[in-house]
Amino acid sequence: MNFKPMTAIAALLLSVPTFAAADADDDVLIVNGETELVTKAPAPAHLDGALDEVMSGWHFRADETQALEMDDFDNPGMLAVEAAAEVWNTVDGSEGKSCASCHDGVEQSMKGVRAVYPKWNDAAQQVRTMEAQINDCRENRMGAKAWKYDGGDITDMVALISLQSRGMPVNVAIDGPVQATWEQGKELYYARTGQLDLSCANCHEQNYGNMIRADHLSQGQTNGFPAYRLKNAKLNSVHARFKGCVRDTRAETYKPGSPEFVALELYVASRGNGLSVAAPSVRN
Amino acid sequence: MAEGVKPRVKAPKSAAAGEVVVLKTLISHQMESGQRKDKAGNKIPRSIINRFTCEFNGKSVIDVTMESAISTNPYFEFEATIPETGDLKFTWYDDDGSVYEETKSVKVG
């Protein structure tokens, strides 16, 4: 009897993580064989009683999809980042400026930016997302046309800027001047909408790890956004994803860039405080 | 020439003689299938990379024919045995006649 090889095979089978079950796995996300990202963290204090642990959506994906995010060469989102890096240095608009004219190298000037957005803008007296900030720069400093809020140009640029914070913990402020907006976002998160009468929490807080038809429900964290989705072969912004989710509850959606979605983005981002920024991520 | 086409290759700089190395290649390309129609209902002509080859010191490693169902930004990962120091030459052939090339040297020893 070849008992030993059989045991070895059985042991091997047991050690391979199964993704037939929808639960989050225990894999470790190391990018390019060097940067380890925090994909599981104790839930921030404001989630007391709701969640114990927050998890990046990476854990809910199949091994093959996970692998795409572990190597920048394999990550299709990096193509968009490269394209945006060219745009960063390209002059646009009536002022004859590019992003680099004011901000110099993106690697230094944008380090850590993504981790704290959306955040309060004192001059504008409002909560600003990165998209809003980029378009403000384009219109008021560069004299260029604003990009479509959830279009390809701006999402690629957000990915380039986000990449500079990869590995840094998400740390958006929820108190002070942003508190009212944050509360509004929380309200939206728990409000049931649409003909299916579903709130964000029904799926992403109460049922993460379970199947929704043929797919796995994640916690709906935004630390990996913009996310390259295999289903549409491009980077997807947070608001585009919100729109898709709200539409799936068969509700009329808010518009990308609307105050409602900005509030929701702030709240959802704060639910991921402590996770590493992992943009651009790869999802199915 | 199609827009935004850029070949990329990931290959080791050195290897042991006879070692099997992993090569990763990707070319950014829209890969317009020829099956789609524009808003006016006219067929958008096919524009894809139709052939990809890899040679080591002039000897064929892989030769791929691509058809219209291949995804955008085609990615190939394959293995090659490196017997001696030499050059890996990667070539992509576009429908519009463009040829894109990339060369990587691998040192043995």
Distance to chain B for A35, nearest Cα, Å: 19
**CA–CA gap between residue A117 and residue A162 (Å, rounded):** 10
Statement: residue A17 has pLDDT above 50: no
Report DSSP state, residue B1: -
SS3 B78: strand
CB distance A74–B71 less than 8 Å?
A: no
- Do A256 and A94 form a contact (C-beta atoms < 8 A)? no
Mean pLDDT, residues A203-213 taken together? 92
* Alpha-carbon distance values, A52 to A22, A48, A49 (Å): 19, 7, 7
Q: Which residues of A touch B28 (CB under 8 A)?
A: 79
SS3 B59: strand
DSSP codes joined into one string, A184-220: HHHHHHH--BTTTTB-HHHHHTTSTTSEETTEE----
Phi–psi pair at B9, nearest 5 degrees: -135, 140
Catalytic residues of A, which ones? Answer: 245
pLDDT of residue B71: 86
Q: From the list B10, B26, B72, which residue is nearest A233 (CB)?
A: B72
Mean pLDDT, residues A3-12 taken together? 49
pLDDT of residue B109: 78
Burial bucket for residue B17 (CB in 10 Å: 0-12, 13-18, 19+): exposed
| Sheet containing B75-82, strands listed edge to edge, beginning at the edge strand earlier in sequence | B6-10, B19-28, B75-82
Q: From the list A73, A79, A233, which residue is nearest B10 (CB)?
A: A73
pLDDT digits (tens, 9 = 90+) for A52-106: 999 999 999 999 999 999 999 999 999 999 999 999 999 998 999 999 999 999 9
Distance to chain A for B29, nearest Cα, Å: 10
**CA–CA gap between residue A30 and residue B51 (Å, rounded):** 34
Report DSSP state, residue A1: -
**CA–CA gap between residue B99 and residue B101 (Å, rounded):** 7
Q: What is the mean pLDDT of chain A?
A: 90
Statement: residue A12 has pLDDT above 90: no
Q: Which residues of B touch A233 (CB under 8 A)?
A: 71-73
pLDDT of residue A99: 94
- Do A218 and A161 form a contact (C-beta atoms < 8 A)? no
For tokens 């992992």, name the residue: A278
| Best CA proximity match to A221, nearest among A255, A270, A185 | A270
**CA–CA gap between residue B27 and residue A267 (Å, rounded):** 39
* Alpha-carbon distance values, A180 to A119, A120, A122, A187, A215 (Å): 13, 11, 15, 11, 34
Statement: residue A19 has pLDDT above 80: no
CB distance B24–A73 less than 8 Å?
A: yes
pLDDT of residue A34: 87
CB distance A73–B26 less than 8 Å?
A: yes
| Best CA proximity match to B84, nearest among B23, B15, B22, B21 | B15
Distance to chain B for A68, nearest Cα, Å: 12
Distance to chain A for B27, nearest Cα, Å: 10
Interface contact B28, partner A, CB < 8 A: yes
pLDDT of residue A22: 62
Q: Which residues of B touch A229 (CB under 8 A)?
A: none
pLDDT of residue A18: 43
Q: Is residue A59 a known part of a binding site?
A: no
Test mutation, A71, A74, A75, chain B, max B CBs within 10 A: A74
Q: From the list B4, B72, B75, which residue is nearest A83 (CB)?
A: B4
pLDDT of residue A33: 84
CB distance B24–A83 less than 8 Å?
A: no
- The tokens for A172 are 């958006």
| Best CA proximity match to B11, nearest among B108, B105, B84 | B105
A-B C-beta contacts closer than 8 Å: 16
CB distance B73–A79 less than 8 Å?
A: yes
**CA–CA gap between residue A186 and residue A205 (Å, rounded):** 13
pLDDT-derived band at A13 (thresholds 50, 70, 90) equals very low
DSSP codes joined into one string, A135-190: HHIIIIII--PPPPTTSHHHHHHHHHHHHTTTTSBP----SGGGHHHHHHHHHHHH
Statement: residue A197 has pLDDT above 60: yes
pLDDT of residue A4: 52
pLDDT-derived band at A113 (thresholds 50, 70, 90) equals very high
Mean pLDDT, residues A184-212 taken together? 94
pLDDT of residue B2: 60
Full set of structural domains in chain A with CATH: 30-282 (1.10.760.10)
Report DSSP state, residue B14: E
- The tokens for A261 are 């979605």
Distance to chain B for A73, nearest Cα, Å: 8
User: What angle is formed at CA A75 by the lines to CA A89 and CA A243, rounded to 5 degrees?
Assistant: 80
Q: Quote the radius of gyration of chain B (alpha carbons, Å).
A: 16
CB distance A83–B72 less than 8 Å?
A: no
Q: Which residues of B touch A83 (CB under 8 A)?
A: 4
Regarding predicted confidence, which is higher, A197 or A214?
A197
CB distance A74–B75 less than 8 Å?
A: yes
DSSP codes joined into one string, A231-242: TTTEEE-HHHHH
Full set of structural domains in chain B with CATH: 6-36+45-108 (2.60.40.10)
Helix %, strand %, coil % of chain A (to 5): 45, 15, 45
Query: pLDDT below 50 — which residues of chain B?
Result: 1
Interface contact B8, partner A, CB < 8 A: yes
Report DSSP state, residue B72: S
The percent of residues above 90 in pLDDT, for chain A, comes to 82
**CA–CA gap between residue B78 and residue B86 (Å, rounded):** 18
Mean pLDDT, residues A247-273 taken together? 95
Q: Which residues of B touch A32 (CB under 8 A)?
A: none
Give the count of beta carbons closer than 10 Å to the beta carbon of residue A2: 8
Q: Which residues of A touch B75 (CB under 8 A)?
A: 74, 76
